[in-house]
């Protein structure tokens, strides 16, 4: 994309994806990283059901700054790129 359209934001997105993989330590769960190439089912943790997981994520999004601040920053960046593309 960078070579065809000379779009520097393509390099930024590629770098961001790489950093995201590194910070999430995705290599610790290769079935998730390479899904669906290593099979379709995900690892099921004992005692973890969908309701508990959703409640934990909702709590993180509303009460945990280390969780919601990066999400809000990512949303701002995404909106910025969408706005730039339309102008």
Q: Tens digits of per-residue pLDDT, 25-75?
A: 777 777 777 777 877 676 666 777 878 878 888 888 888 888 888 888 888
Domain count along the chain: 2
Longest distance between any two alpha carbons in the chain, whole Å: 50
Q: Are 48 and 75 found together in one domain?
A: yes
Q: Are 12 and 35 found together in one domain?
A: yes
Q: Are 22 and 50 found together in one domain?
A: no
pTM of the model: 0.43
**Within 10 A of 86 (CB to CB), how many other CB atoms are there?**
6
Token pair, residue 22, equals 């590194």
Q: Are 30 and 56 found together in one domain?
A: no
Q: Are 87 and 55 found together in one domain?
A: yes
Domain residues for 28? 1-40
């Amino acid at each position: 994309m960078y070579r065809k359209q000379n779009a520097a934001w393509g390099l930024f997105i590629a770098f961001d994806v790489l950093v995201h993989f590194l910070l999430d330590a995705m290599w610790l769960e290769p079935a998730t990283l390479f899904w669906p190439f290593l099979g379709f089912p995900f690892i099921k943790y004992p005692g973890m059901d969908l309701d508990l997981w959703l409640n934990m994520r909702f709590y993180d999004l509303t009460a945990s700054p280390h969780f919601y601040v990066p999400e809000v920053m990512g949303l701002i960046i995404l909106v910025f790129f969408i706005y730039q593309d339309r102008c």
